[in-house]
Chain A
Amino acid sequence: MANVLYAVIQIFVIIMLAPLVNGIIKKVKAFTQKRKGAPVLQMYFDLLKLIKKSVVVSDVSSWIFKVTPYIVFSSAVAAALLVPVTTMIMPVGFAGDIILMVYILALGRFFMMLAALDTGSTFGGMGASREAMISSLIEPSILITLFTVALIPNSTSVYQIMGSMKAADFPLIHPVYILTFIAMLVIIIAETSRIPVDDPATHLELTMVHEAMILEYSGRNLALIELGAAVKQLVFITLLVNIFIPHDQFISIAGIGAVAISLLIYLIKVIFVAVVIAIVEVSTVKLRLFSIPNIAALAFILSFLGFLQYFILGR
């Protein structure tokens, strides 16, 4: 029963919240540029509209092109199942750890790159090849970061990690976690196609990566991919806020009320990170494609130094 409740909360919160994060980021960006900007809920309207539209499919493409939106979306949601939005409900024996989470997201990315090549479009190939480069360079940092935070509970389970962080009260005032936190922030920016690495708002062939891959999509397929990307972004943000800024230890009551409060604080934290991402986006410029290895190197040294600090501290 707890498992079902957990899965329902997880899926509902993440899917419903994911477009909001994009809306907030866009709104903050608009404010900093002295624009009024689209409504915060714009992405919901967009998705609804897209779902109602008919679909245009390239005549070169095969079945890969049609199944990809579903696989991208469902793999992101499956990854979301492994990253609890609140640690108030612990599912019993739900099976998956951080390594599995990374590799489920890899499933979605694999199909996304295939679909980009499927239409025979030059844009698609370009996006896929750039995505392949960025993801390969950032992958080692993700695993080192996650393994470093997994060292204290001595477990690769996300619950155990979050549990051990709750015991630490304020993990950010700690040499290991401050480094891994920054590393994770860099990883989020790289993985979710944000500005120094990719520009979510552009359709210029010189700069686009993610947009180039999904250029051929339309209608409900596009809606699923957009939502999938938003869910993936929220999964990473959830990982960040619930590991490094735990809050459930401060809630003293129990029951449904506690879950509600916990979710509310979670929402505030997510909004906070969204604002931070938006500020990073407006205050930096899109990097040249071949400067991205420098970002990846930064993420790598941050995570690796974090790991080293753990051992230098002598536990």
Chain B
Amino acid sequence: MQINSLSEQGTLLIAAITLFLLAAFAALILIKSHKLCNIVSNVICIIAAFFGVAASVIKIFIDNTSTHINIFTSTIPFISIEIEFDKLSAFFVLCLSVLVICVSIYSIGYISHYYGKRNVGLFNFLYSTFILSMLLVMISSNAIFFFFAWEAMSFVSYFLVVFESEHVENQKAGKLYIIMTHIGTAFLLIAFMIMFSYTGSFDLRGSSTAIPEFAKNIMFVLFLIGFGTKAGVIPVHIWLPRAHPAAPSNVSALMSGIMIKTAIYGLLRFVLCYLHVENTWWGISILCIGIISAVLGVAYALMEHNIKRLLAFHSVENIGIILIGLGVGFIALAQKNEFLGALAITASLLHTFNHTLFKGGLFLGAGSIQYATHTKNIEKLGGLIKKMPITALLVLCFSLAICAIVPFNGFISEWLTYQALFANIIPGEAGINILSILSVAALALAGALAAACFVKLFGISFLGRSRSAAVENAKEVPVTMNIGMGILALMCLAIGLFPTLFIRGVDKVVSGMVGTSIINQLQGGFIIAFYPLSISGNAISPLVILGAIVGVILLAIFVIRIIGGKYIERKYGTWDCGFESLDSKMQYSATGFSKPLRIVLKILYRPRREVEIEESASSYFPTSIKYKVSTEQIFEKYFYAPILRVLKSLSRKVKFSVQTGSIHAYLVYIFIAVIVLMLYNRLV
């Protein structure tokens, strides 16, 4: 191993990598004892993640140089393990490490329900390797090494998706996931090959000036499709809502919280830092994909009743919001408006971090619900707030954060995105300004639909009466699980209340890439985040607003106490119109809750309903009514199914005409291939 500049964060990073490896092997060594293995492996992961946090915080805030570590250089060309740790990497490593700390703490409790039932050692081995592979994706400085890490990440996550492999749908989900992710990887591979053929190097730090314009455009499209598949943008999102629910919840939290963000990292690393944004249409296409993903993602989430599928569709939505920011940034950079570019990319990176926190937390919350009730279907829940008060409070915090409601962190990044869009309207040419205002509309619609969706999620599963016996027996989850989620919730609140502190960090990352810092125009210290155009009125201060809200509440309590006297409360049943036996079946269900929107947006869902009524003597009192409603996944039906049909018929033809099974035919193919290659060699 040869380390060029051994600064302290380099050491810390190497320590983190080593510790993740150690955690993986510790899990294998202690495979016999489930409990010990789980605790040891997770504790090592936590320590390693702390090293990661330390390394990236030092990198972002203090060190301005780039750390380059050459771990292994082989004599075989191109295969060298080189690490490049700059501020962009550090930012994503920070996201990863923060989430890993919380998820690992959570896992100590969560995995306990696997004890004696499943191979905990294998799970922890895969878990640690998964984290390690993501870490390596973020810090590799060589396209081939990046590619290996990327593949490792895909494979390990595949094994984690199919970990509970006895369910057929999990196997199917895993299969779809591995196919989709490899289609994406194929596009990346082509892009890397183009990169090599023009520059003669796989080095990501190299210059891209040798690549001509049209090749850059092709590379951009390839990167967009390749990384877009990993990020789960519409229309290549179909693996996401299947794979995330199949995986164990702590793994879903990592997958949704950070794995799909590696695609954002890839876009920034390859398109922004390597290719440099030159054409406006790059940004426009990213913006359009962002708008579509944001709106359709949340629209489909609204129809889901499986908690984890619902959350997975929200990941599509949030990736869309991140891409809206990124698209505006790329448009602005292509037009040499570096200030706006920096603002928009700051918004998008901050949203990346925020989404890591609240979506990770929500998946952990879903895991807690599943741990306590053994169901993911919210139609079977209800009234959990009384059984699991702490989990309920934490999930409420995350729900508020994801709906961008003050004073949580989601609002801050959405506000910055709105401001970037607003700033993009004014100088925008015809077309870009209209696109910007449509993005504003899309963002507002997505925000309101997300609120509807999380009211449904929280209201149906935690409030009201319990809908099944599973809830009656539910108990509060182990304390480590709540600690893991609690840290995330506190961070959500901290970013929401003191945004400038965090924007400062993100700004350092962005100014490294774009060359313009926006922090000088952000005034007001830790409390007030001013709109960075130095217009004093254009400001928000979540802390002051929270203070105002609390103040008004206290005032209201005080005034009401004076006027109305003591608070007298009577407990009584819910109003039942005199029917006197209101039960849980008469509550609104999740299906009922989303019905108005299902009808309004029926063009998206194409809902079908079947009602089966079993008649009895009187038609007013049927013995049973079955109501079944199903929505259609239009992308699968109208986009994937035709492609599959064509592929199938093609492969059937190939089977009969080309793949004849005759050994002579195959020899002829080889012969022809050799001849053609030799001819090519002679002619070109």
Residues of A with Cβ closer than 8 Å to B? 7, 11, 48, 51-64, 70-71, 73-75, 77-78, 81, 93-97, 99-100, 102-104, 106-107, 109-110, 113-114, 116-126, 128-130, 132-133, 135-137, 139-144, 147-148, 150-151, 154-157, 159-160, 215-216, 219-220, 223-224, 289-290, 293, 300, 304, 307-308, 311
Contact of B599 among A81, A99, A104, A290 (CB under 8 A): A290
A110 pairs with B400, CB closer than 8 A? yes
CA distance A107 to B597 in the complex (A): 20
Q: B residues within 8 A CB of A78?
A: 545, 548-549, 552
B537 an interface residue at 8 Å Cβ cutoff? yes
User: A78: shortest Cβ distance to chain B, in Å?
Assistant: 5
A52 close to B564 (CB less than 8 A): yes
Among A71, A95, A114, A148, the most chain B Cβ lie within 10 Å of the Cβ of A95
Whether the Cβ atoms of A93 and B573 lie closer than 8 Å is no
Residues of B contacting A147 in the complex (Cβ-Cβ under 8 angstroms): 422, 425, 437, 440
B422 engages A150 (CB within 8 Å): yes
Shortest Cβ distance from residue A105 to the other chain B in the assembled complex, whole angstroms: 10
Contact with A along B568-599 (1 / 0, CB 8 A): 11111111000000101011100011111101
**Does B434 belong to the interface (CB within 8 Å)?**
yes
Judged by a CB distance under 8 angstroms, whether B464 is at the interface is: yes
When A74-B549, A160-B537 are in contact, do A99 and B571 touch as well, CB less than 8 Å?
A: no
Find out whether the CB atom of B582 lies under 8 angstroms from the CB atom of A120.
yes
Q: Which of A106, A126, A136 has the most CB of B within 10 A?
A: A136
Min Cβ gap B395→A in Å is 12
Q: Which of A119, A122, A139, A156 contacts B531 (CB under 8 A)?
A: A156
Given contacts A52-B564, A62-B463, contact A156 B455 (CB under 8 A): no
Is B41 an interface residue, CB under 8 A from the partner?
no
Contact across chains for B536 and A60 when beta carbons are under 8 A apart? no
Distance (Å) between the CB of B423 and the closest chain A CB? 9
B571 touches A59 (CB 8 A): yes
Interface residue SS majority, chain B: helix
Least Cβ–Cβ distance between B437 and chain A, in angstroms? 5
Check if B465 sits within 8 Å of A113, measured CB to CB. Answer: no
Q: Could you list 12 A-B pairs, sorted by A, with CB under 8 Å?
A: A58-B574, A59-B572, A78-B549, A110-B405, A113-B451, A117-B593, A123-B575, A125-B592, A132-B596, A137-B600, A216-B575, A224-B560
> What residues on B are CB-neighbors of A293 within 8 Å?
600
- Give min CB distance, A264 to chain B, whole Å: 25
B444 and A142 form a contact (CB under 8 A): yes
The interface-forming segment of B199-207, B245-253, B309-317, B411-419 is B411-419
Give bound CA distance, A106 to B665, whole Å: 69
The answer to whether B437 touches A117, judged by C-beta atoms less than 8 angstroms apart, is no
Contact B541 A96 (CB under 8 A): yes
Q: Are B574 and A220 touching (Cβ within 8 A)?
A: no
Which residue of A is nearest B546, CB measured? Answer: A78
Knowing that A60-B573, A129-B595, A143-B441 touch, tell me 16 more A-B residue pairs with CB under 8 angstroms: A95-B541, A103-B411, A103-B415, A106-B404, A106-B451, A114-B458, A114-B459, A125-B588, A130-B596, A133-B600, A135-B451, A136-B445, A136-B597, A139-B445, A156-B419, A216-B575
Q: A59–B441 contact, CB under 8 A?
A: no
B552 near A120 with CB under 8 A, answer no
Decide if A119 touches B574 in the complex (CB within 8 Å): yes
**Which residues in A have their C-beta under 8 angstroms from that of B575?**
58, 121, 123, 215-216
CB distance from B425 to the nearest CB of A (A): 7
Q: Which residues of B in the span 385-408 have a Cβ within 8 Å of any Cβ on A?
A: 385-386, 400, 403-406
Assess the A128–B545 pair: CB atoms within 8 A: no
Query: When the two chains form the complex, which single residue of A58, A104, A136, A156 contacts B406, counting CB atoms closer than 8 Å?
Result: A104
Could you tell me the distance between the alpha carbons of A78 and B542 in the complex, rounded to whole angstroms?
A: 11
Minimal beta-carbon separation of B534 from chain A (angstroms): 11
Please, which residue of chain A has its CB at the minimum distance from the CB of B523? A93
The distance in angstroms between the C-alpha atoms of A125 and B575, with both chains bound, is 13
When A57-B572, A121-B574 are in contact, do A103 and B406 touch as well, CB less than 8 Å?
Answer: yes
CB contact between B545 and one of A51, A64, A100, A307 (< 8 Å): that residue: A100
- Cβ contacts under 8 Å, A155 to chain B: 531, 533, 535, 537-538
A59 to B386, CA, bound (A): 12
Taking beta carbons and an 8 Å cutoff, which residues of B are in contact with A? Answer: 382-383, 385-386, 400, 403-406, 411, 415, 418-419, 422, 425-426, 430, 433-434, 437, 440-445, 447-449, 451-452, 454-456, 458-460, 463-465, 524, 528, 531, 533, 535-541, 544-545, 548-550, 552-553, 556-557, 560, 563-565, 567-575, 582, 584, 586-588, 592-597, 599-600
For residue B403, which residues in chain A have a CB less than 8 angstroms away from its CB? 106, 110
Q: Given the known A-B contacts A51-B560, A95-B541, A122-B587, are A60 and B445 also in contact in the complex, defined by CB atoms under 8 Å?
A: no
Known: A118-B464, A129-B594, A140-B444. Contact between A55 and B568, CB under 8 A?
Answer: yes
Residue in B459, B535, B557 whose CB lies within 8 Å of A70: B557
Query: Are A118's CB and B463's CB within 8 A?
Result: yes
- Give min CB distance, B561 to chain A, whole Å: 9
- In the complex, what distance in Å separates the CA atom of A222 from the CA atom of B295? 35
Give the total number of A-B pairs whose CB atoms are below 8 A apart: 278
Q: Is the CB of A133 within 8 A of B537?
A: no
Tell me whether A157 and B539 are in contact (CB under 8 A): yes
Cα distance, A274 to B488, chains bound together (Å): 46
When distances are taken between beta carbons in the complex, the residues of chain B under 8 Å from A61 are: 463, 574
Q: Of A119, A300, A308, which is within 8 A of B464 by CB?
A: A119
**Which A residues are in CB contact (< 8 Å) with B443?**
143
Verify A54–B570 contact, CB threshold 8 A.
Answer: yes
Main secondary structure of the interface of A (DSSP, over half): helix
Q: Which of A48, A94, A122 contacts B588 (CB 8 A)?
A: A122
Interface hub of B403, B541, B568, B596 (most chain A Cβ within 10 A): B596
Knowing A117-B459, A151-B426, A304-B437, say if A220 contacts B560 (CB, 8 Å).
yes
Does the CB pair B593–A129 fall under 8 Å? yes
Return A273 CB to nearest CB of chain B, in Å: 24
Q: Across the interface, which residues of B come within 8 angstroms of A137, CB to CB?
A: 448, 600
| Across-interface contacts of A103 in B (CB, < 8 A) | 404-406, 411, 415, 447
CA distance A63 to B595 in the complex (A): 27
Contact at A157–B570, with CB atoms within 8 Å?
Answer: no
Contact A300 B570 (CB under 8 A): no
Q: Which residues of B contact A62 (CB under 8 A)?
A: 385-386, 463
* Complex Cα spacing A78 to B433, Å: 32
Q: Are B572 and A56 in contact (CB under 8 A)?
A: yes
Q: Which of B433, B567, B575 has the most CB of A within 10 A?
A: B575
A289 to B67, CA, bound (A): 61
Specify the chain B residue showing the minimal Cβ separation from A312.
B430
Chain B residues positioned under 8 Å from A133 (CB to CB): 452, 596-597, 600
| Bound-complex Cα distance A144 to B385 (A) | 37
Residue on A nearest B550 in the bound complex, by CB: A74
Q: How far is the CA of A220 from the CA of B586 in the complex (A)?
A: 28
Nearest CB of chain A from residue B659's CB, rounded to whole Å: 52
Closest B residue to A127 using CB positions: B588
Query: A66 vs B661: C-alpha distance in the bound complex, in angstroms?
Result: 74
CB neighbours (8 Å) of A102 from chain B are 444
In the bound complex, residues from chain B placing their C-beta under 8 Å from that of A223 are: 560
A304 contact set on B, CB distance < 8 A: 437, 441
Whether the pair A94, B464 counts as a contact (CB closer than 8 A) is: no
B548 contacts across to A, CB distance below 8 A: 7, 74, 77-78, 81
| B537 close to A117 (CB less than 8 A) | no
Q: Are B549 and A117 in contact (CB under 8 A)?
A: no
- CB contacts (< 8 Å) of B582 on chain A: these are 120-121
Known: A51-B564, A151-B426. A107 touches B405 (CB 8 A): yes
Q: Check A157/B535 contact, CB under 8 A, given A70-B553, A117-B464.
A: yes
Give every chain B residue within 8 A of A97 (Cβ-Cβ): 531, 537-540
Report chain B residues within 8 Å CB of A56: 569-572
Which residue of A has the minimal Cβ distance to B564?
A51
Q: Which residue of A lies closest to B428 (CB)?
A: A311
- Docked complex Cα distance between A156 and B417 (Å): 13
Shortest CB–CB separation between residue B529 and chain A, in angstroms? 8
Complex-state Cα separation, A159 to B539, whole angstroms: 11
Query: For B528, B560, B567, which residue has the most chain A Cβ atoms within 10 angstroms?
Result: B560
